[in-house]
Structure 1
């Protein structure tokens, strides 16, 4: 999904900005969003985009690795108040068990061997190339005399959170995703209403779809050409409020996609 960093502009303090970012990240994880593209709309700024990307990346990082990945900085003052995602990669076993999969932080490498921090489990040795400072998914292959030997692994079909990318303009984000074979659907109050909007969502594989959301001050059609998108939809055609906030449109749209996929 793509959303503008101007969603933070409406919040007057760093605390409220942090909580807003946490709300967005939590909703994204609930509906298994795998990538969030942060872009600058006319009401945003590079500073807000960097802040939103930082906060979302912090939230998506496993709790046992946060202190390793993120140095102390003012922007993360309230990050501990963001709601936890509680996804599989954010849970660490109480003790090292052969076959367990978890995320670790590469502290150092020598030749083809790397020392990997695993949180409360301790440290493991990964006999594979990696970069110091990198977060890697590993499997415990062997535990012998307190020594943990690791293998590179993946989470497979299990949901492993989202990555966060940042773009100067929405058009750049759309171009980037199209090159990867994505369809692009925008949400706007001037878009197709149900049942036409449901048909659009039902006919589009969510794994290869970028859903674009507008900001708190302007809808996407106010600053981009409708021809930029494959479809423009409105999932809340009879809203009772004057406006629908981005995080509210996000929740309604992702829920609609989830329901249609389960039919």
Structure 2
């Protein structure tokens, strides 16, 4: 049945209205992720890549990685460390990553899928060529994090990729930030780099370009109070999770999770700057400790400031790692908020 011109116009108007509402709701979501002040602390999570080997098919492995990514995004994890719990590494205190063996392929696949999901959709073609690890990426649920912007969202910060376009003398590089116009930044940078851009408050709507400055990736978190995704790091063994910490003074609060740990309900967290929560595979952290030749211990609890059971009285013999992440981070959320009452939402 043919639509009359009036019905066609009404249909187009409804589409525009719905799109405008969607953009407004997306902007409100970003604003809701702001806290009263910037967030100074970081939250890191470490888990073995062997969890991928528990899935029976490529599709299930992909979906499992997506569950882990969603859990980390929902609870505002800043760093995900994937370690090889089965590799027999040489003794070293230098923190040098010597690569992974055949058994560590799950580590690389998990890392690649986590990075893919964390990357804003408009940047993925620039950083992720076709790869068999991403063959079933269409099954993945999006993170929809605050830095995954819609094209017309008016926000202060955006992620972008430096374009291989010539710049005028004295002008900075051009960056694709997923907007209708490219952004000219204040520096000349190598093409292909991923950058965090702070857009100028006042923009010339009639101009050909937007203007902005490059800032450190942590600025949206520390100054704007926004959750800005997670970084992904590979570690060749459990001890490398600690020795290769990217923070100058290391993790000042480390938590191991185990059914043999102390009841987390009875624990109060001390003040911290960088917290690390470590999860084991199906057989627990004991396997990771036994396989790590850098460690001359048998009891995993001595590695951590706190060794917690985050699900006492569990009704299953085992808790899968992806389940443990959700359970543990959910239980720790209010405890973290108690340490930083002025930096927590709600």
TM-score by length of 2: 0.68
Taking the TM superposition and a 5 Å limit, the aligned residue runs for 1:16-55 are: 16-42=60-86, 45-55=103-113
Per-residue Cα deviation, 1:36-58 (whole angstroms, up to 9, x for no partner) = 00001128922111111100000
1:132, distance to aligned residue in structure 2 (A): 1.8
1:179, distance to aligned residue in structure 2 (A): 5.7
Instruction: Assess if the C-alpha contact under 8 Å between 1:174 and 1:184 holds in 2.
Output: no
Q: Could you tell me how far apart the structure 2 residues matched to 1:243 and 1:230 are?
A: 24
Do residues 13 (structure 1) and 57 (structure 2) align?
A: yes
Residue of 325, 329, 332 corresponding to 1:250: 325
Q: Could you tell me how far apart the structure 2 residues matched to 1:222 and 1:103 are?
A: 39
Tell me the matched-pair count.
256
Taking the TM superposition and a 5 Å limit, the aligned residue runs for 1:152-231 are: 152-153=214-215, 154-155=219-220, 156-177=224-245, 180-182=249-251, 183-196=253-266, 198-199=267-268, 202-203=269-270, 205=272, 207-216=273-282, 218-224=283-289, 225=297, 226=300, 227-231=302-306
1:84, distance to aligned residue in structure 2 (A): 1.2
* Secondary structure of 1:210's aligned partner: strand
Per-residue Cα deviation, 1:62-103 (whole angstroms, up to 9, x for no partner) = 1111111111122111113211111221013427x5x64211
Q: Could you tell me how far apart the structure 2 residues matched to 1:56 and 1:222 are?
A: 24
- What is the Cα-based RMSD across aligned positions, in Å? 2.2
1:194, distance to aligned residue in structure 2 (A): 4.2
Inter-CA distance 261–9: structure 2 relative to 1 (3 Å threshold): same
Give the stretch that moved more between structures: 2-11 or 131-140. Answer: 131-140
* Secondary structure of 1:132's aligned partner: coil
Instruction: Assess if the C-alpha contact under 8 Å between 2:238 and 2:288 holds in 1.
Output: no
Q: Could you tell me how far apart the structure 2 residues matched to 1:11 and 1:146 are?
A: 49
1:228, distance to aligned residue in structure 2 (A): 2.1
Q: Which residue of 2 aligns with 1:150?
A: 212
Q: Could you tell me how far apart the structure 1 residues matched to 2:158 and 2:192 are?
A: 16
Q: Which has the higher strand share?
A: 1
Q: Could you tell me how far apart the structure 2 residues matched to 1:194 and 1:184 are?
A: 14
TM-score by length of 1: 0.88
**Unmatched runs of 5 consecutive residues or more in structure 2:** 1-44, 88-101, 290-296, 339-346
Q: Could you tell me how far apart the structure 2 residues matched to 1:194 and 1:230 are?
A: 13
* Secondary structure of 1:90's aligned partner: coil
Larger Cα Rg: Structure 1 or Structure 2? 2
Q: Could you tell me how far apart the structure 1 residues matched to 2:337 and 2:212 are?
A: 37
